[in-house]
Structure 1
Amino acid sequence: MTETKKVNPILGSKDLMEYLVDAGQRTVLYWDVMRQRGNQYLARMAEKVPHVLQFNHHLILDGRTLPRPVNYGIIKIDPPEGTVIDDRKRPFVVIDPRAGHGPGIGGFKADSEIGEALGAGHACYFIGFTPVPEPGQTIEAVIEAWAVFLERVAELHPAAEGKPVVIGNCQAGWALMMLAAKRPGLCGPIIVAGSPISYWAGVRGVNPMRYTGGLLGGSWLTSMMSDLGHGNFDGAWLVQNFESLNPANTLWSKQYNLYANIDKEAPRYLGFERWWGRHVILTGDEMQYIVDNLFVGNKLSNAEMVTEDGVKLDFRKIRSPIVCLCSKGDDITPPQQALGWILDLYGSDEDILAAGQTIVYAVHETIGHLGIFVSGSVAKKEHQEFAENIDLIDCLPPGLYEAVFQTKAADVANVDLVTGGYISRFERRTLADIRAMGGNTPEDERCFAAVARLSEVTQGLYRTTMQPMIRALSTEQSAEGLRRMHPLRLGYELFSDRNPAMQPLASAAETVKENRQPAAGDNPFLQWEKGFSDWMTRGLKAYGDWRDMMVEQVFFGVYSQSWLQALLGLRASDGPPRNRPGEDPEHAAFVQRRIEELKAKMDQGGPREAAIRALIYIRLPENAADERGFEMLRRIRAEHGAGKPLTEFKQDLREQYYMLRLDERRAVAAIPSLLTGREDEARKLLEVVRKVVTAGGPLQDEAQRRLAEMERLFTSPPPAGGPEDHS
């Protein structure tokens, strides 16, 4: 009797064969993309000035030709065809971060910081860098070069209404703040995107990267890696630090997303890797300066840094509006690190006003660190709105504001006054709103202070014992060998055509593309694959959470020990481990002089000053500025001629605002005296006031009452005997 061979229904199924063909083809295509990535990396390494800018451009200044040479340069972006640039609008300057990866991310695609600035009619410039620093280059030399670049941009735009807007991304943001503190009158509005400034700040259980310096025992390892690099620090180590924060994405999700969507994902993947995979070098002096003063020392946010030429870097000196863009989803620069400097410098909301500083912040709910500069959705929303409303930001009275973006709808009031896809409002906030985001306790601060003290000790020991030997053994050839053997660099080079095993993939991939047979979306084996991927992602995420928890526990377990703190010269009885910067006597005297000057000027001026004072007085209770009101004012100004320059209007507005804050009753009571003898002009300006204050929609009760009060004063000013009683 002949036996009938049993066939496994699973192995013999059509779904399985379909899946196996699809999976095999995706595997070939995936490894071919890895091969292309490797080849792309080698081609980029051969370029002298690699970048990923998608815009045509031409060089303006090369930092390598300056008296203190640096590997930075500034280029002017050529507007795409059909883009109209208005020479009266202030130019934008985008500074790329130099944190291990290559330049160009600010103009990576059309929907970018550069793209949105060009779309708003602004001339645009870009400050980038070459892969290798100049010998002896320092951070201070870099910011001096930026100053030269910005002066050149201002010279090229004499007709612009205002100084250049400068955007600093990530590492470039804190360096830009240093420059603005050293040269307060150099920049227009400053936008710092995803920039860590207060490095100790954060929330327990959320921000593990701030513990790195403590777990490494300070900055001695940075010195050693620079010495092994023959005086240079390999930026690939920084990129690896970033990638280690999210093992689920680095080890699985990023690569699986490419594999699962290989038919359409390859161009996007290769485009990003073209930027992310071009690791650059910093000098050892630059990296040591960053780690000692910022990462470990945290000296920047509370004005403890002094430049080599004796200038104290105090952010309270900055006269330009400061815009901080950050995100709750950013594990590299959480909101606390982006905004904590405000709490470090200012003890009260009145201190911000006394400093004459305008600070605007915007907190995204979910976007990650790179998304702040790369994401098209952020570019189309936050960066577009900032570009469209930069003059409004520049004219905001001193204080702390949050940028709030409301989706534009057809039924909102005066929708024709909205220039972008969102209605921008800048709402008053207080220091309490920043504190509500969370932060350190005094005990936490003492732990970080202990790390800073320990770092000085371990760094001194390294320099005395190990550094002479390592420097004697290190050569440029050994340093280059170590760079090439770095795991990140090696991963690119191994999967390129330099590896003979990878070369057949090109023809195999072409054959697969010609005979591609993707599995159906409902294929059960494909669903199992996706389920396995979800399981891997959850597992690696759980591992990452566990690792971060252990890192945090070890950090506080070690550095909270009273004996260790005492050994390092810290005692709880000594009070806070770092003090808030003291009041500058010269600035305090300046503020007092300005108060006396403003009080003396309350009765001076004419209908124009009265109208500005009325605008502020009416809107003051609502504690917000709406773009529609400013756009209405802009259109009225254009209709009746330019009048005073924007810079003078800003100064007038600030003076009138201060007068109302100093003595609201007296400032309002003086309005009739400013209108005496010019009743016709007063009535015309009253109509302007009405249009501007109601542009954002119906007024609240208190604002409505104030408008009625101004209508009485503007239409029936008293005779020239003195102002009416405003009691």
Structure 2
Amino acid sequence: MNFFANPLLPTPTHQDKATASVGDAMTTLFDPFGFGRAAFDYWRDSVERSVLYLDVMRERGNQYLAHMEQTKPSVLGFDTEVLVDGRTLPQPTNYELLRVIPPEGIETDPASRPFVVVDPRAGHGPGIGGFKPDSELGVALKAGHPCYFIGFLPFPEPGQTVEDVVESEVAFLRHVIERHPETSEKPMVVGNCQAGWQIMMAAALEPEVFGPILIAGAPLSYWAGEHGKAPMRYSGGMTGGSWITAMTSDLGNGLFDGAWLVQNFERLNPANTYWKKQYHLFANIDTESNRYLEFERWWGGHVVLGGEEIQYIVDNLFVGNRLSTAQLVTRDGRRIDLRNVRSPVVVFCSRGDDITPPPQALGWIRDLYEDEKDIIANEQTIVYCQHDTTGHLGIFVSSSVSRKEHTEFTANMDYIDVMPPGLYETTITHADDRHDGESLERDYLLEFSPRDFEELDREVMHKPEDDRRFATVARISEINLGLYRLYMQPWLQAVMTPEAARWIRRMHPIRLGYKLLSDRNPMSVPLPVMAEQVRQSRHPVDKDNLFKAFETMASDQIVTGLNAWRDARDGATERLFMDIYGQPLLQAAVGLYGDAHVHRRRPGDEPEHRRFLEQRENELLAKIAQGGPHEAVMRAVIYVLGGAPATDERNFKRLRASRAALEPGANLSDFKRLVREQFFILKLDREQALNTLPTLLEGQTNDEIDAHLSHLEDVLSASGELSEHAASRFAQVSELFNQARPVEKAVASSPQTPKQAPQAAPDKTPTANAKKSTTPRRKSPPKQ
């Protein structure tokens, strides 16, 4: 970066720089000998780069073949040992639980919270969550957490279903918990992409085995999306539904080749797939070969899914959108309701992701809940974080994202675990950008701000008219699938053999691209010899070479052209989809026309959960006057910070450290229970909760009350100066604490508010009807 650039002038683009290089190179035109010399140098350099490029492609092919011949291919960058093989479970699956062995120089604490990464199985092989040292696993290992990895084998077990995989993951987590009896904290679980919705299903069925959950780039609301920015959500409608998935599985003799999923990803960005990625290697062949081969080892590691698995996924998730509306029921009759998840959920997505855009990552919140009060009533904590630019793979592959976002998530997992229920958004700021940066323990600070559904809707951008279109797609899909199964499937299943299916997989265009440029092709025999000779006498051309500049400009024009074609294609697809499935006649033909049909209905009421909520409220109301100074201090902190716009980990660390000093035996789960109980007590009856503060402090001496007030001041000032509203609440709490002093030594005045905040009048928010106005009531609570 040029720190001396004029900030008032526009930043030069890549095209500008290329044009400038051409301008510099044009000087060679006035030198006949220089012009010829530049032409010869460029010709020699381009020939050498071509030889080296073809040799890298040969190495890529060899790498692919060697990788696919392994019994357990993986790109995981850490040593592991198998703890549980999913093939030995009652319902066998091709998943495995691995213990990650810490690298040399890194020690983990068995008493620390376990950290589990679940890899996505969406066409590629396992290992992406620990692909590099700066990765999700690498960050957790450096923080001292014992780490585990849930990966998979290339081929599914016969008859394997999505439910079997979910049950396998639950069994793996139970095993992890058994390995760490010295800690009461449940494992933190990270699910990338497809693994995100998979672990959310598991957490809805077995919530007691999960600690905080981080879902990165995971789609949960499949009909959501912004017009012009979500091309993949139209795929099901443009193919007539999921019948083509069934046909592809039948052509594979019951197996679905993951290379077709990878091809769908590649088509999203043709400029990168067909030119930019390859040209970047060609233009920087001397430095980029290792990085390119490292990534291609994962990108080309195609795996196979069971036909029943992929059909379940397409029918129920991508076309039917049944997960985020609690319509899925297991074979033993259990409803998969994401409202049953008891662990805090962190949703990490990016505005630069065209595979899982923010509306699809966040829309499930709106699908399940009426508003943020509904989230609180269900005792759920949901935190979302949006990256501005990174793409889909960058969310869980990029080193810069791992060093920033994933490091902060890992460092703050205990804080997230005890946060009161509600909807929050996180922001991450660098220490250099803060006035209090010197006081931070790390380079970044993670802050949490409460959000409401009006703010959430600006990210989800829900359009009711789109729901009817996608509901029409779901009906059409069911009709077409039924016709396929009646007329075509019996014939295909009768003629397909395992050998024919294996030959079709081998002939897939993506797989052939790797095989044709490998040592199995006789034409590639001279390449390694030629490449070695070029490396020994390499003649790279200078950047100011006229012809090199023209090459860069030509590449930019090709990228621009392919991007324009992509935008035209996606725009035409979206318009065609909207026109076809927006037709009233088609909607009426499948029984969906008219306002009487609700196509994205929220889950209904269950009387068992309503009774549970009433019982829970009565229990908490009975505890309003029960407890001691710990309850009083926590209640005061929650009350004061309830009026603050944001908070961060510093308040939590000070509060937890003070509790540990007063109660050495207290663990994180006790602290979490205390925080949540006091939060709900304030929600149920704020007036009574505040009026009973002196009761909780009965028997305390003046010195002890002074210590409590000093501790409150220390905690509340950790995040900076209090707002005027928070300062008035602190003054109100201080007065209530003073009422608990012994009568003969009671003090009349309150201490100074933290950080010398402007003195404000006591909080005059009406509390007479607090119970009625703040008690969380929900119309559609889930079953517990």
**TM-score, normalized by the shorter chain, greater than 0.5:** yes
Alpha-carbon distance between aligned partners in 2 of 1:457 and 1:503, rounded to the nearest angstrom: 53
Deviation at 1:98, TM superposition (A): 0.3
The reply to whether residue 247 of structure 1 matches residue 254 of structure 2 is: no
Q: Secondary structure at the match of 2:97?
A: strand
CA distance in 2, matches of 1:490, 1:274: 15
SS of 2:643's equivalent in the other structure is: helix
1:566 aligns with 2:588: yes
Cα distance change of structure 1 residues 581 and 520 upon mapping to structure 2, 3 Å threshold = same
- Aligned residue in 1 for 2:427: 404
Aligned positions of 1:549-698 closer than 5 A: 549-639=571-661, 642-679=664-701, 680-698=703-721
In structure 1, C-alpha distance between the alignment counterparts of 2:575 and 2:462, rounded to whole Å = 15
CA distance in 2, matches of 1:516, 1:726: 76
Indicate the residue corresponding to 1:525 in structure 2.
Answer: 547
- The within-5 A match list for 1:64-79 is 64-79=87-102
Shift of 1:342: 0.3
Q: How far apart are 1:489 and its partner, in Å?
A: 0.3
Would you say 1:35 and 2:58 are equivalent positions?
yes
User: Which of 294, 312, 326 is residue 303 of structure 1 equivalent to?
Assistant: 326
Residue 718 of structure 1: how far off its partner (Å):
5.6
Distance 1:316 1:623 in 2: 26
Structure 2 CA distance, aligned partners of 1:331 and 1:377? Answer: 20
Aligned twin of 1:511: 533
Per the alignment, residue 266 of structure 1 pairs with: 289
Report the CA distance between 1:433 and its aligned residue: 1.5
1:3 maps to none
- Structure 1 portions without partners, runs of 5+: 1-6
Rounded Cα–Cα distance in structure 2 between residues aligned with 1:158 and 1:409: 41
Give the 5 Å matches for 1:188-587.
Answer: 188-409=211-432, 412-413=435-436, 415-416=438-439, 418-587=440-609
Superposed CA RMSD in Å reads 1.9
Q: Distance in 2 between matches of 1:709 and 1:560?
A: 58
Tell me, in whole angstroms, the C-alpha distance in 2 between the residues paired with 1:566 and 1:239: 36
d(CA) in 1 for partners of 2:678, 2:232: 45
Deviations 1:124-148 (A, max 9, x none): 0000001011111111000111111
Q: Which moved more, 1:577-586 or 1:41-50?
A: 577-586
Kindly indicate whether the alpha-carbon contact (under 8 Å) linking 1:414 and 1:697 is maintained by their aligned counterparts in 2: no
Change (3 A) 1:646 1:288: same
Deviation of residue 87 (structure 1)?
Answer: 2.6
> Which AA in structure 2 matches 1:200?
W
Q: In 2, Cα distance between the equivalents of 1:161 and 1:11?
A: 74
CA apart distance, 1:600: 2.0
Contact 1:414 1:628 in 2 (8 A): no
CA deviations 1:603-643 (Å, max 9, x no partner) are 11111100110111111101433111122234434555633
SS at match of 2:121: coil
Cα displacement (A) at 1:719: 6.0
Displacement, 1:215?
Answer: 0.5
Q: Which amino acid aligns with 2:574?
A: E
Residue pair 2:651, 2:718 contacting (<8 A) in 1 also: yes
Q: Select between 672-681 and 451-460 the one with higher mean Cα deviation.
A: 672-681
CA 1:670 to 1:414, structure 2 compared with 1: closer, same or farther past 3 Å? farther
Structure 2 distance, partners of 1:635, 1:21, is 67
How far apart, CA to CA, are the structure 2 residues paired with 1:14 and 1:407?
49
Separation (CA, whole Å) in 2 of partners of 1:262 and 1:94: 34
- The one-letter code of the counterpart of 2:677 is E
Please tell me whether the aligned partners of residues 219 and 356 of structure 2 are also in contact (alpha carbons under 8 angstroms). Answer: yes
Query: Which one is further off, 585-594 or 201-210?
Result: 585-594
Gaps of 5+ in 2: 1-29, 749-761, 765-784
Structure 2 length-normalised TM: 0.89
Q: Confirm or deny: 8 A CA contact 1:607 1:681 kept in the other structure.
A: no
Deviation at 1:686, TM superposition (A): 2.5
Cα deviation per residue 1:433-489 (whole Å; 9 max; x = unaligned)? 121124342221111000000000000000000000000110000000000000000
> Would you say 1:107 and 2:130 are equivalent positions?
yes
How far apart, CA to CA, are the structure 2 residues paired with 1:474 and 1:11?
65
CA 1:208 to 1:221, structure 2 compared with 1: closer, same or farther past 3 Å? Answer: same
Aligned residue for 2:758?
Answer: none
Aligned partner (choices 137, 149, 158) of residue 126 of structure 1: 149
Amino acid at match of 2:469: C
* 1:716 Cα offset (Å): 4.2
Which is worse superposed, 463-472 or 157-166?
A: 157-166
Task: Report deviation, 1:251.
Answer: 0.9
Q: Which amino acid aligns with 1:271?
A: E
Aligned counterparts of 2:540 and 2:273: Cα–Cα separation in 1: 26
Shift of 1:13: 1.3
Contact map agreement 2:732 2:763 (CA 8 A) in 1: no
Give the aligned residue type for 1:659: I
| Aligned match of 1:4 | none
Q: Is the 8 A contact 1:673 1:720 kept in 2?
A: no
TM-score between the two structures when normalised by the length of structure 1: 0.96
Measure how far apart 1:532 and its partner are.
0.4
C-alpha deviation, 1:496, in angstroms: 0.5
Q: Do 2:113 and 2:145's aligned partners in 1 also have CA atoms closer than 8 Å?
A: yes
List per-residue Cα deviations over 1:655-706 (Å, max 9, x = no partner): 1111112222221111011101122433323222221111111111122222
Q: CA deviation at 1:549?
A: 0.4
Mapped partners of 1:702, 1:92: distance in 2: 39
Please tell me whether the aligned partners of residues 53 and 105 of structure 1 are also in contact (alpha carbons under 8 angstroms). Answer: yes
Aligned counterparts of 2:105 and 2:631: Cα–Cα separation in 1: 40
Aligned AA for 2:200? M
Mapped to 1, the partners of 2:602 and 2:433 lie a distance apart of 48
Is the Cα contact below 8 Å between 1:89 and 1:161 reproduced in 2? no
Which of the numbers 25, 33, 37 marks the counterpart of 1:14? 37
Q: Which moved more, 1:550-559 or 1:578-587?
A: 578-587
Secondary structure of the equivalent of 2:625?
coil
Q: Equivalents in 2 of 1:553, 1:354: separation in Å?
A: 41
Q: Which moved more, 1:403-412 or 1:610-619?
A: 403-412
Identity of counterpart residues, as a percentage?
52
Question: Which residue pairs with 2:201 in the alignment?
Answer: 178
Shift of 1:576: 2.4
Conserved? CA contact 2:97–2:150, under 8 Å: yes
SS in 2 for 1:437: helix
Alignment check: 8 A CA contact 2:729 2:763 kept: no
